[in-house]
Structures are given as structure tokens and as C-alpha cells.
Structure 1
Amino acid sequence: MLDNDNLYFLDGSGEMATLHREKNWSATPLGPPQNWPQSLRATLDIMLNSLFPMFLFWGDGHYCFYNDAYRPSLGNNGKHPSILGKGGRESWPEIWDDIGPMLKQVMEKGIPIWNEDLLLPIFRNGRIEDVYWTFCYSPVRDGSGNPAGVLTVCTETTDAVLANERLTESEQRFRGLADQSPMWIWMTDAEINVEYANRDLLDYIGLENISDFTGQVWQHIVHPEDLKIVTEAFSKAAEKRSGFSVDYRVRSAETGLYEWFTVKGVPRFEDGTLTGFIGTGMNVHRQKTFSEQLRKEVGMRTKELADSNNELEKSNKELQSFAYISSHDLQEPLRKIQTFCSILLASEYNRLSQKGKEKFDRMQSAAKRMQVLINDLLAYSRLDMEERNFETTELRTIVNEVKDDLTDEIAFKNAIVNLESSCDIVVVLFQFRQLLYNLISNSLKYVDKDTAPVIEISASPVRSSEIADSRAVPEIEYVHIRVSDNGIGFENGFSEKIFEVFQRLHGRDNYRGTGVGLAIVKKIAENHGGFVTAHGEPGRGADFNIYIPMRDKAFLEHNAMGTNPS
């Protein structure tokens, strides 16, 4: 016989078993547990001792029972523990329209109902919360075989559902961004079958979606010469577990032409097993073809430069030949002319008529001018050919040497040559001596007959930022050498023209000169990595400013080894 006083089904140490035992069931429609039917007792025995979440609706009133495993789904500040033994409609008013019909169906038909990830918002934690459930409603039969209750075996899947929704939203955002990307974005499986491709990639190869995009597709769109490069890149990446970057050609569905792409990818592994690859692709056809064209252009320009160098070398040889002719062949007949002039001057000059003497004087003057011109041209032509050995010296030393060379002319014109300030300079001595000689000689030459020449010379360091000339190299220190005079000057509009070969601003009858001297000054300044400027004012004299870079010890050491160009 059944011992109704044996409440074995309420045994247990869990919270819900304790609450079941302590509850005053006599105050509920169910009455004391001693009067409960065996089917309810057996079900409660199973439920309260199960580690899986269970909930029992019993009788026509759908009175509520649940175990410890189900308890967390009720949260805090909600239904627990008040719904224990309470009717279903009263306990679950917020979802009764959803679960009531299902409970009725199970009670009437005795057929279980299954739902997966069903949204049933419930009141818990002080508010209504969206809760997702996967559950089964199963009938519990009484002694007559009729459904007397509904056992709910369930699990809350809220966290999993929300995580999956976040993943889906993230994937949708990724796909949206990827489809707007101007580069390819793709994912493959381990066999390089494409699992995802963005719109740019699909449009380029002419596919509507990623479904015949298998590993074989690559063979149809990749240039045959590049297929091996592609397969080896994926293979090595999987073997070395590292990313890859490779350039290869892919055929455009729109044009049918192959274009260059840089494709980068990394292998994906799960538990040490290769699951696929993920990567990008960027069209680099313009850059690639431009680089190739540039390489060809560089090759052509290099050949042209080599040809130009050969021509330049040939020209230099011709210039050397010209210099030889100037110094020997041209001067030889000139010396004979001057010799005969000297003989005639000594023996026949007094026998000449006045007109004959004038013509003789003009012939002798022309011969002298020709000799000066030849010497100037020879000096100019040698500036690019002669070896440049830079040395450190004080400007004062060079100025004194030039003054010695021009002693007679300085004395004849009562000239004053004053060195206001001096400093060390690193120069090719004979060239810089020529530069100062030409400038001082010009100042002595281009002066009014009744004016005693005054020539002022100064030198000082200066930064490039202080030089108002675009030729000054930034962050370089220069030596500024200034030569000024009180001569006839010139119109400032000719400040650049005067440095050109054969440019003369004054007639030969008034001021002698060949028009080469200042061209030599400019060339020498450039040979030193510098430049020269001029400023003049008619009747007020002229200023010549030479800027040459300051040199250090390292420069001189390289120069001594012959490894430094001027």
C-alpha cells in the first residue's frame, strides 16, 4: 500500500527542495503533499533531483513547480519564490497568451511540443526582459492515463541567441563595408574554394555570387603564366603558417584583358588544422605598367646619357685640340706678325707716310688684341679640363699676389686696393687668383680718366638663408667675397648679361677688353660650387659678390684622394 505520509519526493538538500518542504501547501488548492497523486509525486521526485532545468505545470490551474537548475532563469526581484504553487495564468501573465494555448494543446491531445530559441519576454530583475528559450512541453499522465500536468524541460538560450545576433550584425556590417571597398576582400576554405567574396571581386571576374567559384575558377581567370605563382603562394603560406603577398595577373570579365593585382592573404587554423585563407587584392596595373614603362624609359635615357657622355668626351677632346691649336698653331703666325712689326718699326717706320704710320699702328694694336683674346679663350676653355686641387688659404694672401701682378697699372692710375676684412677660404688657388685678377683688373680698366680707382675687398661667412638668391643651397654656409669700385658702373639691367662670353657694354675705342674676363669669373665661381652676382649704377661704380661654400677637413681629405668633384 502507498504510504501517503512518506514525503520522499521532497527529500533533497537544494534550495527548491527546502522551499517545497517548508511551504504551507494546505493553504493552496493543491492541499497537503500527503494527498498528492502518485504521478505528481513521481514527477517532483525526478524534477527536484535533476541537474537539468525543469518546470512543472500541474492540474487544471497549471500550478507551478520548478527545480534548482531552473531557478537562475527567474533572476532576482521577480517571480521567485512567489510563483511556487501558484497558478500559471497568475504567475506568467506577460506570456500567458503565448504559453497558455500550448499548455492546453498538450493537456488535451497529450502530444509534446518543441520550440527552439523562442522569444518569451518575462518579468525578472525588476523589469521585463527579452528571454530566449529552447524547451519541450511533455504531458504527465495520471493513474488513468490522462494528462494531468505538463513537464517543461528547458534551457535559456538568451546569451547564445544575442551573441549570434551580434555576430550576424557584425558580419552584415563587414559585408556592407567590404562591398563598398575599392579592393578585393575574400575568404576561402582549405581547398581555396571561395566562401566569401565582396562585390568588387565578383564584378571584376563576372560572377553573380560565390556559389562554380571553386578552386577551379582560379585557373580560368588567372593568367596561365602566373598560375604556378598563385598555387605556390597558398601552399607555402599553409606550410609556414605565415602570410603571403604576391603579384599576378587576373582577367577582367568586362574587357577580357589581364590586369596586375597584388594579393595578400593569411592562412586560418582551428585546433592546428588548416581551415582556409582570408585576404585582400588590390589593382596595381597602372603602377606596375608605369614601373615597367619607367624602367624602359630609364634604360633609354641611360643609353642616351651614355651616348651624350661619349659625345661630351669627344667634344672635350676636340676642345683640347682647339686649346692646343690656340696655344701653338694660332699663336705661331701671330708671333711672326709681331716680329715683322718690330722689324718694320725699327727700320722702316720713319719712311712711312703719316697715313702709313696710322695703319701700321692699327695693325700692331690689332695683333696685340688678338693675342689677348687667344689667351683669354685658352684660359676659359681650360677651366673645365684642369685638375682641381682645393687648398685652404687666407684671402689676404691671394689679394696680395694679384696686387703684385698689377703693381705697374695700380701705380700708373694712382689706384687704391683696400682689403677691409679677410678670412680663410678653400679654393683652387690658381683659379681663384685668376678670378680676383680679372675683377681687380676690370675695376682698374673701367674708370673715368680723371678718377683715381678705389677698390674695396671684403670677405665674411654667411648663411644661405641670408642670401637673396635662389642658387643658394639651404642649410649651407658660404663665404661672401665682395669686390666694389668707383668706376663707370653699368645699367643694372645688364647684371647677368655681362657674365656672358664676348659681351661688352662699352666700345673698344674707350675701354679695352675682350669680353671674356667676367665669363671666366662666373665659370670659376661655379667650379667652386658657388655663384657670382653683380650690381651696377652708371657713374657710381659696381659691386661684384662671390659666394662659395665653406669647406671642412673631410672635404679636403676626399679632395686629396681625388674622390670629390668640385
Structure 2
Amino acid sequence: MNAETDALRQRIEELEAELDKARLGHTGGGDTLAYIEEMEGRFRAIADTAPVLIWLSGPDKLCYFFNKGWLDFTGRSMEQEVGNGWAEGVHPDDFDRCLAIYVSHFDARKEFSMDYRLRRHDGQYRWISDKGVPRYTTTGTFIGYVGGCMDIHDQIMFSEQLETQVEERTRQLKHSEQFLQSILNTAGNSIASYKPIRNPAGKIMDFRIVYSNEDASGGRTTHGTGIAGKTCREVYPGIFRNGVFEKLVKCVTTGCPDNYQVDVRRNGDIYWFDASIEKLEDSVTVTTRNISEELKSDLKLKDLNRQLKIQNSIFKHSEENANIGSYAWNVTTNELECSDNLYRLIGYQPQEFNPSFEQFLSFLHPDDRHQAIRDGIRAYETKVIVQNTYRVIARNGDVRHFRLSGNFIQEGENHLMIGALQDVTKDGELSDALHKKNMELRRNNEELASFSYVASHDLQEPLRKIRAFSSRIMEKEAQHFSESTKDYFARIIAASVRMQKLIEALLSYSGTSGVNFKFVEVDITSIVDEVRSDLEELITEKDATVEVEQLPVLPVIPVQFHQLLQNLIGNGIKYSSPDRRPVVRVTHEIVQDENGQGPFCRLSVIDNGIGFDQRYENRIFDLFQRLHGKNEYEGTGIGLAICKKIAQNHHGYILAEGKPGVGSVFHVYIPTTLAQY
């Protein structure tokens, strides 16, 4: 716990002490009661806006208060946490240890600190640091504990990573130290002494190995005689290709020492050596050191340093990634402290200017400054900051929207306002776009309502007159008309009937778009019985059979679901095959859909009618889509579109299967419980 948190906890203790003192001195007077209420209000305001998790327990060890920070962190209510309820969120591996610390220190009335993992609202366990302090009244009576917690999960994770990296670097440094020691201790190096072999003209042709602590395979020998007496051409033929032979000759000739690095291939692997050459009378001594592992370690260390730099950058800019800047304003001294990211949010580098309230006002949009001043005065007087959004003009001239939040605390004679500023410009843009969409939707709904009124009154009235007058003319004057005139009148009447049915179907379709329908638990079998009763005349006319199994009780909009089943069963009878009696069956099954969602009740309406080609599966649910001529089968092309809309209103969907000349199956998927709506 840092000093700022300790100061906040101390202030909470002081405020509680004042509360206790006020309660003990309460005599029933209005002023005293108001003072107690004011103190309790201050305590809860400070606790709920504090950047820590705060709890209070009584002398019975049971917790009876948790601040807003704790409840927001755990995602639980006060009722769930009080008593021992908070312990449900402690990690099982930490519970016994925490309980032992809490009980032992509680019994001894001692301050304690402990770290443990607490389950956050998203189910993740995070490390927190919890510090508890015993509380006493002004008369010395023990009244329980006050505790404050901080989320230290990121710090612990970062610390563990840093410790691992430190251990790795320590290991590498130790390894490097061993290499250094091997240089100081020549016994740890590969040492060899070579004597030149000359031709009759005195030219150096080869070197004979006088001494070496390696054998011919490169391994260390015990007595240093594994390859002594052999020539370099026999043991190290590579020196005649990599330039080492010339360095040996130069050292013998000039007497000057030399240093070099060389790579050697052994058993398919490459090893790097650091070597030095010195002349000793008529021979040369070569000391080599294998630096292969050291080079590999250096590469690993560079990679670790690169990863550590990335992690430090992420940790440093976490506030920047969240588009949040924090502040602390001392109202008494007018001193303002801001986080680095607060500078960045308005286009400046950290600490580029000295922050102050006046400086903050200068960044505000001119139209928002007076409101900010009024809000500041009201907040100072009431000690409550109302969240508000202000426009800020960034350094580049862009207008950004910032949401201000925080609270007042008092430290001695100083009044502090602490809080945060969040850039919510994108949120405002999205809100404006959503508002425009809502307005557009409202206009569309108004247009639809106007259309419905026109369709139900202005359009149908002329049609009714056309039908009525045409029918009267045919009744009274038919004997005076030619056959062609009679045919024309028959077509006029038929067209007006189709037009009226189309208008009624459109009204029915628009009526399924409402959002205020009430869902009711209904026995679907009873709805099918009502549908059969409504279709009795059509069933009799077609000599049809409607078979229904026992259907479940589902939460539906009764009027709409009646219309859906009437359309599907009616279609099964209407679009029947001329060579067989129509049979319609209604079944159900509880299923999961193809995406694993559910459970759904799948209601299936199966007929043996004319069917349809499966490639038209989606087309048949569109408005005004017909697969057959109007003279073959009566219809408006809207019935299945209404069924699709009703299924969507029930948070479900409808699918169709068909085979020409065999029949059709319509599957309606409806959630089984209201909880899914």
C-alpha cells in the first residue's frame, strides 16, 4: 500500500472516529442528527470514490460494509458480500492463509497486511494487497477493523517477469565470469606449443605439435600428450585454409604477438574460438578459448533486453491505451497535478507546461467555460462532482469531448479534488449517429402508420364502391350487356377483390412490426384448434385432414402466433395437389439450432401438396413473391413474409423444405423460455 492509500485510510479512520464521537454525543437534537448524517454521507462519498477497495468489520469479525470500488471489482451486491460472503471470492489456495492472518491479528487487535487473489467480476483471480487496522472509539472501545485493498496483479506479474529476467541475466553474468576466470587461469584454456618445420631453403612448411592439452578430436587430455609429435597438417589441416598458418609464420618471423578469432567445424557443428599467439624462442604458443556459448548468450541477452523494453513500454502506456488521464487539484493552494497521459490527450508532451485550473479553463471550448466554472463552484459548495462532458480544444485545433469525474477529499486544511478525464469523442460520435438512426426509424414508423391509415381508409373505400357498383350493374343490367361487357365487369370485380385482399395483407404485415406485444405462456395445441375452427369452411371444401400431435406450452404473442399457424396450415390446404386429398400434419421437437444455440421448440407444418423447388427456399419469404400464377392458386404473395416477420418477433426464425409434386415442410424455431427473450 503506498503513502497515498495510507493517507486515505487514515482519513477514513478519522472520519469514522468523528462519526462515533457524534453518535456517542447524540442527545436527540436536530443539529446533532444532521451532523451525524453529514459525517456518514462524507464517509460513504469518500469511500465510494476512493481508488481502493474498502471494507469495515465489527467486533464479531463479520464485515458489514464494502465500498463501491469493492462491489464494482467483484460484481456482487452488498447483501452477497456482508458477513463472510466476501470469502467466496478468495482463491481456494489463499483462503486458509488469509483466514489465519485475519483471525490471529483480530484476536490480538493488531494491524495486518496480506496479499491474496480475489475473483473479479469477469471470473479472473487477481492479486490484491489488503491492509487492516483496528478501530476504537474515543473512549477506547474496540469496534472492529477498517481495511483498504489495492489491485497489485499487474505489478506482481511484472515483478515476476522481471525476477525471471534478472535470474537469467545473473546466470549469463556468472557464465561470463567463468569464461573470464578461464582466461586468467591458463589451465582452463586450450594451450598448444608449435615448432616450425622448415625446408632446406629455410622456408616454414609446417608446424610440429610439441605440447597440447587437447587430443586429435578436440577433447581435453589428462597428460597433454594425445597429439604431441604430430604435425598441424595431420591434426589441424584447416589452418592452411583459414589464414591461421600465415599468422603463425608471421609471429615466428617478426616475433610480434597476434590475436584473432576463428571458427572451427567439428562433427557438423561450428565453434568460435578467441586465440592469441606468442613467440617463445624457436616455437610459438597458441592459447585458445571457446567463445561459442558466450556469443549465443549475448544474442539471448539482447533478445531478453528487447522483450523487457517492449514490456516496459506497455506497462508505461497502459493509461494512454485507455484514453484516460488522471488529476489531483488542491483547491486550497490551487496546485494541480496531472498524469503524463493527460498532457498527451490534449496534444502536449508530459510536463510541457505547469498545470493549473486556469490553464485547464483555457483549453475548454469558449461555450463550455462558464458551465465548467459553475460546475466547479457548485462542486466546491456541495463537495459532490456531477459527471459532465466538456469540449476541449487540443493543440492541433481538434475539438475533443472529455468526461470529467471525481470527488472531493480533505487532508488537514487542504481540500483536494481527485478524479479522471476520459476522451469520449468517439462515444459522442456514435451516440449522434445512433440518434440520427433513431430519428430516421421514427420517421419511417410514422410513414408506415400514415400508410396504414391511408390503406385502411382512403384506398379501401374506392375499392368497396367499385365492387358494389359493379355488382349492382351486373345484377340489374346484365341482360342488356354483351358477353364481352360481362367479361369486363367480371374482371373489374375480380381485380378489385384481389386489390382489397392485397391491402388487407399489407396491413396485416405492417401490424407484425410492433414492439409492445406481450408474451404469454400458451398451449400451442389450443391455438391450432382455433385455427382449424377458422379454416373449417376451407377444410370442408378441399376434403382436407389436419393432424396435430400434443404440442407444448410456449411463451408467444397469441394473436401473431395464431396468424402464423393459420397461414402455414391454410397454405398446406390451399396449395394441394389435384390428384390427392390434402393432409397437413403439425409436429414438434426440442432441439439446438445449427449454431449450438437453444433450446428451441421446432414446430413443423408438413403437407402433401404441390411442393416447390428447393432453390426458391429464401425467395418464398420475400414480399409479393409467388411461385405460381394468380389464376392457378389464389394468394397475395405476403402470407409467408408475415410468417417470417412473426418468427423474428418471437426471437426465432423459419426454414422451408420442398420437393415439387411431393409436398412442403415449414420449420418454425421458437425459444422455449421467456429467459431467452
| TM-score class normalised by the smaller sequence | 0.3 to 0.5
Q: Which has the larger radius of gyration?
A: 1
TM-score after normalising by structure 2 = 0.40
TM-score after normalising by structure 1 = 0.47
Higher RCO, 1 or 2 (CA under 8 Å, sep at least 6)?
1
